[in-house]
Amino acid sequence: MNRLERRATSALATIYALRMLGLFLILPVFALYAEGLAGTTPVLVGVAIGIYGLTQAALQIPFGMVSDHIGRKPVILFGLALFAAGSGVAAEAETIHGVIAGRALQGAGAIAAAVLALAADLTREESRLRAMAIIGITIGVAFSASLVLGPLLDRWMGVPGLFWLTAVLGVAGMGVVIFGVPTERGHRVHRDAEAVPGQFARVLRDPELLRLDAGIFLLHLGLTATFVALPLVLRDQLELAPVHHGWLYLPVMVVAFVAMVPFIIVAEKHRRMRGVFLGAIAAVALAAAGLGLAGQAGTLAGVAMALLVYFTAFNLLEASLPSLIAKAAPAGAKGTAMGVYSSAQFLGAFTGGVAGGWAHGVAGAEGVFGLISGAAALWWLIARGMAPPRYLSSHVVAVPADADPAILTPRLAAVAGVVEVEVVPEEEAAYLKVELDRLDREGLEAAATAAP
């Protein structure tokens, strides 16, 4: 990556991290705080936690498409302004309904697609995968940090203070957009990084992609439902003071992050993805059931161990699913596949909040963890039919604007290591699926630049 790309990637990762940190700071403490809000019911607590996912899912792809026409930065700034405004509404709310309205407004600042599109505008094809990986890692770190910092900051400023801090983070993100992100030299559609309307039917008919979309939906359903019940279990059944919850999450998240790495290596390097993937789903189901049993028994060590297994498997699946989407998506449809996948993720968060709140009201914490375990078991049954993934990578090469797809497509397809080709002259790009260990890079460059 050159200097401009490093600056752009760092700034965009910071924007993403500030927003995600703000969204998740309340996750480990809100169920406790909501007890003092007027109109609270278990279902409405879940709605308040997960409602951001509904508005995010509805608006992230449209915001990305709007950014194709008016520019990325105006859309990102508008989204961050909505996010900050929603945080303020939630901070001032004295009823659960007010918090729900604020959280919905937070999610309406749906900048994910526009941020990734801007990252694509500001990076070369050969650097883009690294830039996206850095942004993805930053999101994971922000989530882990929020679980640790939420309970600690709650002691000093309370949940309203956390919401005001979130508003400040949104404004800080706007400052990074204005002063930290390099000026884009123009924007265009990048099929490897953003959704294209003409590709939706193709993506939504693909059974392997739909299987993965169902997986991320159920994974985030379980995650959101977990925090409807877990803070209450830690306080009421384990008698762990809320301020100390972060000290439980800290070692769990650190060890879980390290523990997933060997499984990633086995899955990717040794091509055991299907077995590792199914094993991780089974681990989520067992860990969720273990959380219910350990919480009911009042054993902190049992809850800690169940959380460690849960988050190790969660992190592994969270890292593996985008890789599987990239492998399964047809050439030229990766951005659309990722857009649908992200929408399924956010819908899962919303559904998990509602379903978790309902289960808690009907059957208590044990009902919530039973729901999560059942959702993971359903996912295991869905995923069991998955085909062994093709170990292919997406690759983009520049082609002339006057390139003839009928001539260029078979020429590129004949290069060693190229498996799929889609030539899009109006984007001056050819989107490929390739086997990296067999790819003839010199031959590919020669084929792309040769005269018709």
What's the predicted TM-score (pTM) here? 0.94
pLDDT greater than 90 at residue 387: no
pLDDT exceeds cutoff 90 at 129: no
Using the predicted structure, report yes or no on whether residue 190 has a pLDDT greater than 80: no
pLDDT at 445 > cutoff 90: no
Do 371 and 438 share a domain, yes or no?
no
Q: Which of 171, 194, 217 is the last residue of a domain?
A: 194
Highest mean pLDDT: which of 121-125, 355-359, 395-399? 355-359
The domain total for the chain is 3
Identity of the amino acid at 392: L
Q: Give yes or no: residues 112 and 230 share one domain.
A: no
The residue range of the domain holding 421 is 393-449
246/299 same-domain check: yes
Residue 78 has pLDDT above 70, yes or no: yes
Note the pLDDT tens digit of each residue in 212-225: 999 999 999 999 99
State how far the alpha carbon of 399 is from the alpha carbons of 49, 335, 367, in Å: 46, 19, 56
pLDDT tens readout for residues 106-118: 999 999 999 988 9
Whether residue 165 is found in the same domain as residue 92: yes
Task: Quote the mean pLDDT of the chain.
Answer: 92
**Looking at the structure, do residues 364 and 423 belong to the same domain, yes or no?**
no
Q: Identify the CATH number of the domain in which residue 189 sits.
A: 1.20.1250.20
Q: Which residues pair with 430 in a beta bridge?
A: 397, 423
Runs of H (alpha helix) within 233-333: 245-268, 273-297, 300-328
pLDDT at 314 (0 to 100): 96
Average pLDDT for 197-210: 92
| Residues 272 and 403 both lie in one domain | no
Residues 163 and 104 in one domain: yes
Let me know whether 89 and 155 are in one domain: yes
Residues 295 and 152 in one domain: no
107 and 163 part of one domain: yes
pLDDT at 451 over 70: no
Report the 10 Å Cβ neighbour count for 318. Answer: 21
